[in-house]
Amino acid sequence: MRQIFSLVVSGLIVLLSAGNVAFATPQAVAPQLVAPQATNLDWATTFSPRGLSADVNAVAVSGNSVYVGGGFIAAGNVEAQYIARYDLNTQTWSPLGEGAPEAVTALLVDGNDLYVGGEGYLSRWNTISNTWTSLSYVNGFVNALAKSGNDLYVGGVIDWIAGQTMTNTARLNLTTGAWSTLGSGVNGAVHALTISGTVLYAGGGFTQAGGSAASSVAQWNIGTNTWSALGSGPDTGTTYALAMNGAELIAGGSYNNGNGTSVFRWDGSWHAMGTGTYFTIHALNANSQGLYAAGFDTKILRWNSGGGNWVQVGAELAGPQYPTIQSLAYANDHLYVGGTFTAAGSTTTMRAADLNLTNATWSALFGGLGGNGLDGDVNTIVISGTDTYVGGEFTRAGPIAANYIARWNGSSWSALGAGVDFHVLALALQGNTLYVGGRFTSAGGNTAHYIAQWDTGGQTWSPINSGGKEGVTASVSALAITGTRMYVGGYFDRVGWPDGPATDYFAVLNTNAITWTTVNPGLKNYVDAIAVHGTDVYVGGGFYPNGGSNFDGLVRWDTLHNQWSGISGASANVYALALSGDDLYVGGTFAPNRIRRLNTLDNTWRPMTGGVYGGGYGGIVYAIGPHADGDIYVGGDFTYAGGREIYNLARYNPACDFWLPVGTQGVSDRVLALAPTSDQLMAGGRFSLASEGSGSVPSARLANLPHQSITCQRVYLPSILK
């Protein structure tokens, strides 16, 4: 007789072989679902991005359509692989078929055709038939496109196309489909192309064109098929943008002059256009409203020809990282902007925005449902009743500004005052006090080194002050509270900035008296995870205890005897710890399966068949979320769980020792935080899509899904079924 386990999920029975077992009397037990079945197991559409899920590299406009290309995989509330269309009339995003094969770096609109280039490809999208045509494989990167007559010109970092050697430039005859070189090309990357009459201008990081000297800008005569320099070039450096402003050629980039000039004009000789821009120019646009420049900066600039200087237009741009503007496109007194920014003034505009040039106001390219996603990683989540607190590396939560921490009440976001000034890594809630740890040095505008507290009732921030000194000396990455004791771990070596009592990466805070207890000898390296079980505190990280013994990233602190003991078996960094009953789940980078289960009663490891693996570094577990029904949610950076193809988020059923996907296949990128409640799972991380049966739901760094309990029962079948 073979023993079979039956895992019942929403009426589906999965039969799992568990070896041969002899029985005197064969039996059959019908599987039953103990818990009521959930009626809606789709990911919520709430947390789609208010714009694009990742950087925009190129923008083009045609009629009522704004086309954007970049590294994103979601646009508003639709899945869109690297390219999308925004309808200015309906204010909705739509994908272009199955999208592009890789990130888009160049766009060109010509009538009903949209030309699209990136790493390894050049394609054409027809806006009437809504179909893709591959024009060629490209051995390299396409950075720029320009068209004259039936010829399409291509620039980038290119070795060959269609079997022909190319040197960073190429020409495609759209009538015959034949490729040809532009002489011997240029000897460095091409970043920009523009055409005026019978002249193709190229800008980039080259010093030669056609074998002759040409510093960062050169011209190709379409009639004579020859290269020539434009004087000695605008300056030494790299040209990233070109535009025709009337009869003049404008070049912008990063140049090696000492006066901060990033834009030059050519009228037969080169002239600097103002001084003091002091940043790299990535985009230029000349239109009926004027000449505009933007790049590695927070501003859109317009050239004041009367005063000979640049002036700012509209409010400044912002984002979790220093914003870069990569592309500008103009239509009907509006400038459409793409880049890495996530806000324009007070408006959330995730990586694409509309600047009305008549009144210098910004608006987002967004419409419809959702739009409550975040613009940076979510590292930690705690839930209290209907309130969900999230901390991470974001500065926008849906439509509002929220500096690295925010509260979701089930329908809308609110900021926690002024927030903190850098990343949040850990949260712990006790009553009305939310404890916050991270890489910040101020909270609510006041000094708070790496740890602070938020009063959820009074809505105020305060530092952790003890003995006349506040905070700790380096980042806090783990918090765990039991009673009046909060266990704190991280990268610090003292409690009390800057010269409080010494402690190595771990300390205990009395939350009533606000006094620290140091633990010496401490640990030899950073702490990333803490879990408390009775009088034992389990600590995970990348350390080994003082004295030199290597305990493989997992130790136990005995609070009764104030001593450390090692636990072998987690043979690398530990990033996540969580308790379910008497079982401690341990996740990290250790081989072979990145997650293990420790029985805390007898200190023995129990099997978790298959574990998780694949992905970056062979798989990493960053988050573990036990549910009250006994199932375990596991998040990280992996591509397999229990031998099944499951991406970054999985569910483990201990009774059956079996793995299941969350949704249909997990989520699109790493999961860093998990918070299950009785009826739902909240997951946070770096992802942009959450998968489900009908496709994928855009979920910018945060997603939630209803939870459904699973019943595991034994079914005995005759041995003839072996």
Tens-place pLDDT, residues 381-418: 999 999 999 999 999 999 999 999 999 999 999 999 99
Query: 109: helix, coil or strand?
Result: strand
Sheet strands (E) in 612-667: 612-613, 620-626, 632-637, 640-641, 644-645, 649-653, 658-661
242 vs 24, higher pLDDT: 242
The pLDDT of residue 546 is: 52
Q: Model's pTM, two decimal places?
A: 0.92
Q: How many other CB atoms are found less than 10 A from the CB of residue 350?
A: 31
Which pLDDT tens digit goes with each residue over 50-64?
Answer: 999 999 999 999 999
Q: What is the DSSP string of 476-497?
A: EEEEEEETTEEEEEES-SBBST
Alpha helices in 322-480 (DSSP H): none
CB neighbours of 716 closer than 8 A, spacing ≥ 6?
Answer: 1, 3, 4, 23, 26, 27, 28, 29
Which pLDDT tens digit goes with each residue over 427-478?
Answer: 999 999 999 999 999 999 999 999 999 999 999 999 999 999 999 999 999 9
Side chain identity at residue 705, one-letter code: L
**5-19: average pLDDT:** 40
Lowest-confidence segment of 75-84, 117-126, 298-307, 561-570 by average pLDDT: 561-570
Burial of 77 (0-12, 13-18, 19+ CB in 10 A): buried
As a whole number, the mean pLDDT across the chain is: 91
Give the pairing type, strands 179-180 and 169-173: antiparallel
Joined tokens for residue 230: 């434009």
Give the pairing type, strands 433-438 and 451-455: antiparallel
Lowest-confidence segment of 504-508, 548-552, 596-600, 701-705 by average pLDDT: 548-552
CB neighbours of 146 closer than 8 A, spacing ≥ 6?
Answer: 108, 152, 153, 155, 193, 194, 195, 200
Which pLDDT tens digit goes with each residue over 626-669?
Answer: 999 999 999 999 999 999 999 999 999 999 999 999 988 899 99
Nearest CA among 214, 231, 222 for reference residue 268: 231
